[in-house]
Structures are given as structure tokens and as C-alpha cells.
């Protein structure tokens, strides 16, 4: 039992790394994509809209496989097993950035136009208006859906097994097959639940901190 928990803990470290790196890169990238989605440039807006549609309309598992095997089948470049972790991060980032982009867009477009006009009358520049007036309100409004995506991300990290990356779910499957037991999978489920509970608690704390003027 101790050995099993130890192995799962090692896999959990990799799971946490996938989770953290995805958020670090996908959240700001999502904002950039959101601006592209709202751009007045028809070509850029259409391209970004198509990108978001593809990312949201195809399975993340398929995207991981494309990112991992794509360099070989398209460019005949052999990346090796060391490319597994970067491939997972790339696939997760471009997938979740699309979801975050739509969440941000909805939040930005929910702000009344009158606030932009008032800021202009007060002499605020466009960047000052966005960062000092619009963004704080957007953060408050998008936090609940962002929390939902973050919780989903914790569970989606298990999809890294697709290319045999030894994260927690993969380790649990290997131990379960070797021991002919379901206990490793049950233990992994506990790990995922506790991790999600921690994430939900932190996000709820942040949401309460931002719930001023209520």
C-alpha cells in the first residue's frame, strides 16, 4: 500500500505540473485570442473564430495525438519520447486558451458601453479604461466559469495517458494491471478529488475577496 501511494504521488507531481503550466500559459493566451475574436479586422476575427471552433469542436485526446505525432507525419521529424511532456502542454494550452477566450469575450462584452463613454469623457486612454475600469469587473464576472474550466482541467490531465505520459492516471492503470486490483484507480480518484477540492476552495476564496460592493 505504501509503495502504491508513493508511486501515485510521483505521478501526481507530473499531473500538477501539467495543470499549473496549462493555466500559466492558457489564461493569458486566452485573453489575446479573445481580443482577436473581437477584432474589427474581418480576416483576423474569422481566423480566430475558426481556431476556437476547431479547439472546442474536437476531442482534447485527438489534439494531443495530433500535436505529438504531427511533426513526424507532416514534416518527417522524429521528436522522440522526450517530446511527450511538451506535446501534452502544447495541446492543453491551445485547447484551454480557446475556452478561456470565449469566457473572457463574454465577460468583456457584458460591460455596458456607457462605461467606455464615461471613461472617455473623463480623459482615460483606451488602455487605462480597460485595465483600470473594465478588467476588474471582467475578472469578477468570469471567475465562476473560469473556476469550472479549472476544475475540468484537473480531471482532463488524465488524458495525458494517450501518449503514455506517466502522470497519475497512467501510473494507477499500470499498478492496477500489475496487481490485478482496482484499488490503485480508487486511490487515484481520491487524489483527484482532493486536488479538485483544494482548487475549488482557493477559487471560492478569491471570489469572496472580489465580491465587494454587494
Query: What is the CATH superfamily name and number for domain 2-209?
Result: MetI-like (1.10.3720.10)
Decide: 172 and 187 in contact? Cβ < 8 Å: yes
> Rounded to an integer, what distance in angstroms lies between the CA atom of residue 45 and that of residue 35?
9
The whole-number pLDDT of residue 214 equals 52
pTM of the model as a whole: 0.88
> Rounded to an integer, what distance in angstroms lies between the CA atom of residue 79 and that of residue 69?
9
> Rounded to an integer, what distance in angstroms lies between the CA atom of residue 87 and that of residue 61?
12
The domain locations on the chain are: 2-209
> Rounded to an integer, what distance in angstroms lies between the CA atom of residue 94 and that of residue 25?
9
Per-residue pLDDT of the chain (214 residues; tens, 9 = 90+): 667 778 888 888 889 999 999 999 999 999 999 999 999 999 999 999 999 999 999 999 999 999 999 888 888 888 777 888 999 999 999 999 999 999 999 998 888 888 888 888 888 888 888 888 888 888 888 988 999 999 999 999 989 888 878 788 888 888 888 878 888 888 888 888 998 999 989 988 888 877 755 5
Amino acid at each position: 500500500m505504501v509503495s502504491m501511494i508513493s508511486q501515485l504521488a510521483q505521478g501526481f507531481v507530473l499531473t500538477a505540473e501539467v495543470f499549473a503550466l496549462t493555466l500559466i500559459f492558457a489564461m493569458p493566451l486566452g485573453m489575446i485570442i479573445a481580443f482577436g475574436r473581437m477584432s474589427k479586422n474581418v480576416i483576423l476575427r474569422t481566423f480566430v473564430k475558426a481556431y476556437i471552433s476547431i479547439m472546442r469542436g474536437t476531442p482534447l485526446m485527438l489534439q494531443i495525438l495530433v500535436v505529438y505525432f504531427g511533426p513526424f507525419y507532416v514534416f518527417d521529424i522524429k521528436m522522440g519520447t522526450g517530446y511527450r511532456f511538451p506535446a501534452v502542454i502544447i495541446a492543453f494550452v491551445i485547447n484551454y486558451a480557446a475556452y478561456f477566450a470565449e469566457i473572457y469575450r463574454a465577460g468583456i462584452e457584458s460591460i455596458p458601453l456607457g462605461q467606455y463613454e464615461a471613461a472617455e469623457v473623463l480623459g482615460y486612454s483606451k488602455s487605462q479604461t480597460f485595465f483600470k475600469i473594465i478588467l476588474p469587473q471582467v475578472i469578477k464576472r468570469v471567475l465562476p466559469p473560469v473556476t469550472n474550466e479549472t476544475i475540468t482541467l484537473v480531471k482532463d490531465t488524465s488524458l495525458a495517458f494517450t501518449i503514455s505520459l506517466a502522470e497519475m492516471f497512467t501510473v494507477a492503470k499500470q499498478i492496477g494491471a500489475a496487481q490485478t486490483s482496482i484499488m490503485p484507480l480508487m486511490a487515484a480518484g481520491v487524489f483527484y478529488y482532493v486536488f479538485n477540492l483544494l482548487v475549488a476552495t482557493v477559487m471560492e476564496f478569491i471570489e469572496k475577496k472580489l465580491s465587494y460592493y454587494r
